[in-house]
Amino acid sequence: MTLARQDTALHEIAHPPDDQLGGRVALRYVARAGLLPELSRQTYDSFPKALREAVLNSLDADATRVDLDLSRVESHRELTVLDDGIGMSMREFCEQFMSLGGSTKFGDRTRYGRIGIGSLALLQYADAAVVETKRAGDPTGTRARIEHPWAFARDQRCTHLGELAAGFAEEFAYDGSADDHFTRVRLEGVNEDVWTIGQDPTAFYRLLDSLRRILPLPWQESRLTAALERVSPELVAVLKEHVTEWSTRVYAHSAWERGIELRRRSYGDDRANVEEWSGPPRPLLKTLRVRESAGQRRELTVAGFLLNQRRANASWAGVTARVQNVAVEEHTFFDVTADPGFRKYITGEVWILGDVNRERLINIDRSSFNRECADYRAVQRFMSRSIVEFKSSSVQRPQRQKVEVRRLLEAHARTVRAVQSLAAHAAGVLSDAGERGLPSSESGRGILGRRQSIVDSIAASGVEVIVDDDRPSRDLGYELDLSENEPKVRATIGPGIAEPRVRIGGVEYRLSYAAGGPQDPPIVIRNRPREIVFNVGHPVHASTQPHVRYQLSLALELAYLLADDDAAGLYERMLFFMEAR
């Protein structure tokens, strides 16, 4: 239509002929073919989501088993979805399966479907779809072939939807038992995206991993469910009951492996043990009251958990939110945007149960919530508080505590290395005199009674300390993590750093520390038991590099104790050893 013709048409609409003035014209929407590709492409924007809708259609038909067969994708470009649901008659197929937007499941809380466009989910991924379906007791079944272009040209998009030739349907004689009931959807001429999955094992198993996270699959006992049961048996009971009600068995088949039962995928199920969490799971079980505009109230229940990932994994960051055991949103933080650096460690799942207004809460793509819905606002308020509190108590606080302990351990390890280096040089000085111990220095009675090891220093900060005797005695390394069962930092260190020792003159001395006063000597060397005690309270040890001060005070003490006629020379050699370390 040219601009002039458009202007004329607008003029005619704005100014109807005189004989229509004062009259009333009923307005009706006109459905055109361009609606089909937009509904399917924008609603089901990924192949796993399209398969999810096919599975949910099967469940609404009371199927107890669904089979996804991709074994002929590479060889014949065919994909089949088979279920043992109640099936459809010819009339039901034409009036229900082929209808758009007028779902009889709307408002039915025993069903997944709401809108009536799920039949479009898989059709965009192939040239044609052959549907075979049968009801129990019928001697015949219905076979239909749906075939029409999905990339409509401009003139095709303007075609009235009722005039679009979508295919044909016919009845066929069924050779099996009259009691059989099923629906089989076979896609012919699948597109490149599906074909890639069929010829690449890695892509196939990646697809299964996605489906295991979004489909309503049966409850799965795992390490995570055991951890949840320890902290909240009530929560586990609620989740088990809900998942059992809203789940079915789904099997996948490929050219490489057949009969793969899809089991629900939760965090920590990986075989490589990479997905590990710190601290116990944080259970969530809260009943919320939603007030309607008319003053009526409904009750929702939020049930789930939050976890602190030990190693941040982007594929699990955020919460998976489920309605009817189907994942609606993944990687969500319920609109919490603060402190993104810590959000990457948070993962979890929540189920929204109870009197849910699904029609308003869940958007048409079933992959997001309607932020304007009263149900979402109630859930969002609760979840945002829970996430912020969990982030502070179970993520940020332990992280800060680990930073402080790491700083303490690193400073201690540097000191031990510095002292051991100096002791090795001192052993060379004493080699001419043969192996002998050092003479004792000042008694230092004021500091020997208040000694404290690195283990005591760490434990004083509330950190659980484990001394691993299996580590090599010279190992100055350590590990910091959070226990899965306790919300506290745990430090695992070896005896080399917990009870360090040095060898001087062929004799081992244990290193220890004491919180003495400034008037006490900076260092004391004893022979019964053999130990070197550093006074951490002496001013000489107050430095941003304490390991250098400890090394210097030990060098001076050794120079004093080992001095014969050349005390000054020995002192100079000690300083040289320190510089050459």
Residue 104, burial from CB neighbour count under 10 angstroms (0-12, 13-18, 19+): middle
Tell whether 280 is covered by a domain. Answer: yes
Which pLDDT does position 265 carry in this prediction? 92
Neighbours of 525 (CB within 10 A): 22
Using a 10 angstrom Cβ sphere, with 0-12 exposed, 13-18 middle and 19 or more buried, the burial of residue 240 is middle
Per-position DSSP letters for 12-56, written without gaps between them? HHHS--GGGTT---------BTTHHHHHHHHH--SHHHHHHHHHH
What DSSP state is assigned to residue 218? P
- Domain-embedded: residue 79: yes
For residue 106, the domain's CATH number is 3.30.565.10
Residues 55 and 121 both lie in one domain: yes
Identify the CA nearest to 424 among candidates 524, 509, 499, 497.
509
Q: Are residues 273 and 133 in the same domain?
A: no
pLDDT of residue 455: 86
Same-domain pairing of 314 and 170: no
How many percent of the chain have pLDDT more than 90? Answer: 39
Comparing CA positions, the residue from 339, 345, 342 lying closest to residue 310 is: 345
Whether residues 575 and 536 share a domain: the answer is: yes
Written as one string, the DSSP assignment of 336-375 is --S-HHHHTTEEEEEEEEES--HHHHB-TTSSSB-TTSHH
**Same domain for 289 and 423:** no
Same domain for 381 and 401, yes or no, is no
374, pLDDT greater than 50: yes
* Distance separating alpha carbons of residues 194 and 200, to the nearest angstrom: 10
Q: Based on the fold, state whether residues 85 and 119 are members of the same structural domain.
A: yes
**Cα separation, 356 vs 562, whole angstroms:** 83
Can you say whether residue 22 is alpha, beta or left, with left for phi > 0 and alpha for psi between -120 and 50 degrees? Answer: left
Residues of 549-578 as b/e, b for ≥16 C-beta within 10 angstroms?
Answer: bbbbbbbbbbbbebeeeeeeebbebbeebb
Average pLDDT of the chain to the nearest whole number: 83
**Do 68 and 95 have their domain in common?**
yes
Domain of 461? 397-579
Task: Note whether residue 239 is domain-resident.
Answer: no
**The predicted structure's pLDDT at residue 13:** 41
- Report how far apart the first and last C-alpha atoms of the chain are (Å, whole number): 88
Instruction: Tell me whether residue 154 is in a domain.
Output: yes
What gap in Å lies between CA 251 and CA 67, rounded to an integer? 5
The answer to whether residues 318 and 464 belong to one domain is: no
Task: Encode pLDDT of 452-500 as tens digits.
Answer: 788 888 888 788 888 888 888 778 888 888 766 677 788 888 888 888 8
What's the number of domains the chain is made of? 3
- pLDDT at residue 536 is higher than 60: yes
For the entire predicted model, the pTM comes to 0.76
Domain finish residue from 177, 199, 221: 199
Please check whether residue 293 lies inside any domain of the structure.
yes
Average pLDDT over residues 240-251: 95
Q: What is the DSSP letter of 392?
A: I
Q: Do 314 and 430 reside in the same domain of the chain? A: no
CA–CA gap between residue 110 and residue 560 (Å, rounded)? 88
Both 193 and 316 in one domain: the answer is no
